[in-house]
Amino acid sequence: MNQVFRIITFLLLLVVVPLKNYAQHDHFWSKSELGFTVGGSYYIGDLNRFGHFNNSNLSGGLIFRHNYNSRVALRVSLTYGKVEAYDSLANNDYQLNRNLSFESTIFEGAVGFEFNYFNYKIGNKKYYATPFMFAQVGMARINPKAELNGELHELQPLGTEGQGTELNGNDYYSRMQLVVPMGFGFKINLGEKAAVNIQYGIRKTFTDYLDDVGDFYVDNIALGSRNGDLSAAFADRSATLNPAGSKRGNPNTKDWYSTFGIGLSFKLGSPRTCSFRTEQRNRHIIWWKNL
């Protein structure tokens, strides 16, 4: 009789467990998102010391997130931007006389973490929106250029401050630079699979040559004889040549650049669905065997 009771009880458990006990198990893809952003980018440095959003250009990027939980996510990003600045647009005599300019495309790859201020999950009606912040480490490729007689020229190979010669003593700066992106934003769900976000991020760099302006002028005639006439032309664009050793930039501060914009993110997968929660099924079987 006891054996029959156990069999009947087990069969009843199989039949009467409601559909709400069907489990949805999060896995790598259901915890992951892929999105894109579109917005602007600008730079802060020797040619634009305080003017946030000055000379902004179009930027865009891709972002992959893997959500460890509702508050913390791994963040991997690929970003494109363009920055530029012109002494001729400044409001001080020093810059107007210096008359330097540059533009640079920036390709950045970075990895780090994103932190939600509130619990958040795409598709969750309760935890549907949150401010967030992010911090990453990455590499960026810079390539400052300037225009002369209607033609753009790459400045790094020219050694405009005497790089690569005894006039300076330093080698050419690298176009690959370590960067630390950090910023904040706000995101809100759009249904069960997508979310929209706005964000602003600033990048700390460890170079003073995003704009090709770092330290001091070298002797312009000597520079032309060593690095060529183009180097001399871009090194000093003042009305009168500056003496060797005079100030060209501020070596005590590094350059920064920023991106801002709006984006969409999409969940990459759905949770796995099974007939019973594995742990519930095991619990039922153990209970039945102990009857």
Burial zone of 10 (CB within 10 Å; 0-12 exposed, 13-18 middle, 19+ buried): middle
What pLDDT score was predicted for residue 110? 96
Out of 27-36, 68-77, 125-134, 217-226, least confident range: 27-36
Sign of CA dihedral 279, 281, 282, 284: positive
What pLDDT score was predicted for residue 20? 44
What pLDDT score was predicted for residue 4? 44
Instruction: Write out the two tokens for 79.
Output: 């970003």
Q: Mention every residue, 6+ apart, whose C-beta is less than 8 A from residue 140.
A: 106, 107, 108, 109, 176, 177, 179, 203, 205
Percent of the chain having pLDDT more than 70?
84
Q: Which domains does the chain have, with CATH numbers?
A: 30-289 (2.40.160.20)
> pLDDT tens digit string along 84-129?
999 999 999 999 999 999 999 999 999 999 999 999 999 899 999 9
Instruction: Write out the two tokens for 111.
Output: 């990895």
pLDDT at 284 over 70: no
Chain-centre distance for alpha carbon 48: 21
What pLDDT score was predicted for residue 184? 98
* 3 state SS of 241: coil
What pLDDT score was predicted for residue 8? 44
What pLDDT score was predicted for residue 30? 81
> pLDDT tens digit string along 17-47?
443 444 456 787 788 999 999 999 999 999 9
pLDDT at 82 over 90: yes
272: closest CA among 89, 99, 30?
30
Average pLDDT over residues 264-274: 80
Q: Mention every residue, 6+ apart, whose C-beta is less than 8 A from residue 132.
A: 114, 115, 116, 117, 120, 184, 185, 186, 187, 197, 199
Mean pLDDT of the chain: 88
DSSP 231: H
What pLDDT score was predicted for residue 169? 87
What pLDDT score was predicted for residue 270? 79
Pairing state between β 32-44 and 256-267: antiparallel
Average pLDDT over residues 126-138: 97
Q: What is the pTM of this model?
A: 0.83
pLDDT band of residue 11 (cuts 50, 70, 90) is very low
User: Could you tell me which residues are beta bridge partners of residue 44?
Assistant: 256
Instruction: Write out the two tokens for 33.
Output: 């998102």
Out of 22-36, 38-52, 174-188, 223-237, least confident range: 22-36
> pLDDT tens digit string along 238-260?
999 999 999 999 999 999 999 99
